[in-house]
């Protein structure tokens, strides 16, 4: 992992709070990127062979227990990543879950959604993120191969998409009806093309989607979920995040497993986890 040189961390920190996302360039070094890309593309290929069009809109959703190459664990627990959180004022982050999402060549767009389901808790409506995604795209991304799209500010402000969203992505995942509003172009949206090895950090409440992959190459990414200031979070939120934790692959070396396990949240109080809700911001 590279020692990241961002001169203006304050600007990045302000963007993340205001827009709901920011990009930190050049985080993965060439060797880690090559290993991640090989392993990520391979998992995506296996998924496509096995599952065919299941989750056509996403491409694949391969979770941590299946990420057997140790490089995934190395990236999850990399001191560089934790140092980035610290520089953004998001220290004390716990790690719960991760996925390889891999769009095959010539696959449809991903629908608008957020990764936050704790809207039942009042803290969802104030500024600070309780969950962040860290997305590492493993190829350079463009509009043509399915770069990320976001609606800046939608982590805190209500958007028309929030009024049509439904839970359960079954109909959306099969991408059968691309005329649905969850697949639409919206005037406020912004493309987030990146270089392979950059990391996109986003507030889990942010509305995001991806363009179709219209190229002949696979477009893979690793997305990881972190929870800054875990120890200070409300108890029901902590209890919820405990339910997100995924088993670590037994194929990882003990050292890698221990480094990731040290980032897992710890909560033993009696609070009930929050119900899964998709309310979205109020105003």
Ligand X SMILES: O=C(O)CCC(=O)C(=O)O
Q: What are the structure tokens assigned to 191, written together?
A: 């493309």
Shortest separation between residue 268's beta carbon and ligand X, angstroms: 29
Is 57 among the residues that bind ligand X (CB under 6 A)? no
Does residue 115 belong to the site contacting ligand X (CB under 6 A)?
yes
**Residue 168, φ and ψ in degrees, nearest 5:** 80, 115
The Cα 202–Cα 135 span in angstroms is 8
Give φ, ψ of 53 to 5 degrees. -85, 0
Residue 221 found at the interface with ligand X (CB under 6 A): yes
Q: Give buried/exposed letters for 211-249 (b at 16+ CB in 10 A, else e).
A: bbbebeebbbbbbbbbbbbbeebeebbbbbbbebebebb
Q: Which is nearer to ligand X, 21 or 133 (CB)?
A: 133
Question: Counting contacts by CB under 6 A, is residue 156 touching ligand X?
Answer: no
Tokens of 146: 């399915």
# binding residues, ligand X (CB under 6 A): 9
Residue selected from 32, 64, 100, 101 as contacting ligand X according to rule CB under 6 A: 101
- Considering the rule CB under 6 A, would residue 110 count as an interface residue with ligand X? yes
Query: CB count, 10 Å around CB of 25?
Result: 13
The rounded distance, in Å, linking the Cα atoms of 266 and 158 is: 32
Min CB(193)–ligand X separation in Å: 11
Evaluated on CA atoms 46, 72, 98, 215, the torsion sign reads: negative
207 near ligand X, judged by CB under 6 A? no
Q: Which is nearer to ligand X, 180 or 257 (CB)?
A: 180
223 binds ligand X (CB under 6 A): yes
CB of 113 to ligand X, least distance (A): 7
| 96 phi, psi to nearest 5 deg | -120, -50
For residue 214, state whether it binds ligand X (rule: CB under 6 A): no
Q: Does 148 bind ligand X (CB under 6 A)?
A: yes
Residue of 210, 224, 239, 242 interacting with ligand X (CB under 6 A):
210
Say whether residue 208 binds ligand X (CB under 6 A). Answer: yes
By CB under 6 A, name the binding residues for ligand X: 101, 110, 115, 133, 148, 208, 210, 221, 223
């Amino acid at each position: 992992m590279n020692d990241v040189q961002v001169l203006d961390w304050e600007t990045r920190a302000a963007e993340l709070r205001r827009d709901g996302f920011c990009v930190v360039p050049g985080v993965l070094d060439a060797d880690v990127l090559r290993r991640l890309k090989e392993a990520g593309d391979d998992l995506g290929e296996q998924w496509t062979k096995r599952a065919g069009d299941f989750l056509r809109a996403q491409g694949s959703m391969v979770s941590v227990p299946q990420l057997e190459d140790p490089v995934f664990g190395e990236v999850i627990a990399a001191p560089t990543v934790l140092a980035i959180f610290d520089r953004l004022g998001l220290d004390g982050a716990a790690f719960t879950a991760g996925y390889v999402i891999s769009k095959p060549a010539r696959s449809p767009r991903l629908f608008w959604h957020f990764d936050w389901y704790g809207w039942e808790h009042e803290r969802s409506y104030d500024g600070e993120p309780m969950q962040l995604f860290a997305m590492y795209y493993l190829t350079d991304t463009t509009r043509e191969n399915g770069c990320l799209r976001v609606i800046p500010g939608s982590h805190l402000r209500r958007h028309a998409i929030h009024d049509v969203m439904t839970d359960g992505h079954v109909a959306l995942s099969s991408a059968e009806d691309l005329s649905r509003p969850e697949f639409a172009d919206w005037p406020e949206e912004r493309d987030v093309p990146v270089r392979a090895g950059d990391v996109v950090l986003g507030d889990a409440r942010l509305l995001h989607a991806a363009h179709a992959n219209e190229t002949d190459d696979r477009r893979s990414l690793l997305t990881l979920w972190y929870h800054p200031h875990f120890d200070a979070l409300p108890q029901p939120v902590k209890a919820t995040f405990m339910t997100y934790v995924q088993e670590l692959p037994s194929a990882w070396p003990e050292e890698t497993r221990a480094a990731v396990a040290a980032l897992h949240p710890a909560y033993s109080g009696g609070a009930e986890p929050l119900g899964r809700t998709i309310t979205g911001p109020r105003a």
